[in-house]
């Protein structure tokens, strides 16, 4: 399956740790997705928070995207990249890690902390993918499949998917993006 509209994927800490070893990223990795893509030789420009917001605004205003996709992208900017966005108000600990802009797509990487009473905090990465075109969607999906293939493990088990429920519940109805309430790893 290739999604030509923006979509998000949840990634477990277990997978990120294993990917760090597979791609030789070291023990402490601040921007795993960026570092993985760099080690794979993907051509991209790294984006800070403000640069990511400008890139998304540029995509939303592009004549090549539908009005509904443009509105969705503008909503994602508000939710994910503004300090007072819905995402930050709903979940106490969500951090923008980094982003990249490749020729056909933009990928943004967030770290979410899910505190749990009397148990250790859970950490999940959220990878937000914004294809600029059909070709970009195909290329983004191919890149993600290659990451999974090289790591040799699923990014999210059924148990880990269930553990993301607090994030999914809080965001459901607030923003509409494919993958928010469904595990797209099974179909990517």
Could you read off the pLDDT of 19-28 as tens digits, one per residue? 999 999 988 8
Question: What is the predicted pLDDT for the residue at 91?
Answer: 46
The encoded tokens of residue 55 equal: 């890139």
The CA distance from 143 to 123, in Å, is: 23
Question: What is the predicted pLDDT for the residue at 72?
Answer: 61
The CA distance from 164 to 124, in Å, is: 8
CA pseudo-torsion sign 179, 124, 103, 152: negative
Residue 147, in any domain of the structure? yes
Residue 1, in any domain of the structure? no
Residue 140, in any domain of the structure? yes
Global pTM reads: 0.85
Reported as a single tens digit per residue, the pLDDT across 103-139 is: 999 999 988 888 777 888 888 999 989 898 889 999 9
Number of domains comprising the chain? 1
Helix axis angle, 134-151 to 13-22, nearest 10°? 80
Residue 2, in any domain of the structure? no
Residue 116, in any domain of the structure? yes
Range(s) of the domain holding residue 30: 7-186
Reported as a single tens digit per residue, the pLDDT across 39-93 is: 999 999 999 888 888 887 787 776 555 545 556 656 665 555 555 444 444 444 6
Residue that has been written with the tokens 């400008």 in this structure? 54
What dihedral angle (degrees, nearest 10) is formed by the CA atoms of 92, 19, 55, 102?
Answer: -170
Question: What is the predicted pLDDT for the residue at 181?
Answer: 86
Cβ atoms within 10 Å of 130's Cβ, excluding its own: 28
Residue 47, in any domain of the structure? yes
CA angle in degrees (0–180, nearest 5) for 113-119-124: 25
The DSSP code for 145 is H
């Amino acid at each position: 399956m290739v999604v030509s509209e923006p979509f998000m994927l949840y990634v477990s800490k277990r997978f990120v740790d294993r990917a760090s070893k597979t791609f030789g990223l070291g023990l402490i990795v601040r921007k795993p997705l960026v570092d993985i893509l760099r080690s794979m030789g993907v051509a991209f420009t790294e984006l800070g928070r403000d640069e990511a917001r400008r890139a998304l605004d540029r995509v939303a205003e592009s004549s090549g995207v539908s009005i509904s996709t443009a509105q969705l992208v503008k909503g994602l900017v508000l939710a994910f990249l503004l300090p007072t966005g819905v995402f930050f108000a709903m979940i106490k600990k969500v951090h923008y890690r980094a982003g990249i802009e490749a020729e056909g797509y933009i990928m943004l990487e967030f770290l979410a902390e899910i505190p749990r009473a009397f148990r250790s905090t859970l950490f999940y990465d959220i990878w937000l993918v914004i294809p600029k075109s059909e070709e970009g969607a195909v290329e983004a999906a191919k890149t993600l499949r290659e990451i999974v293939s090289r790591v040799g493990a699923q990014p999210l088990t059924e148990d880990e998917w269930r553990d993301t429920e607090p994030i999914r519940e809080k965001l459901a109805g607030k923003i509409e993006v494919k993958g928010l309430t469904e595990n797209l790893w099974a179909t990517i």
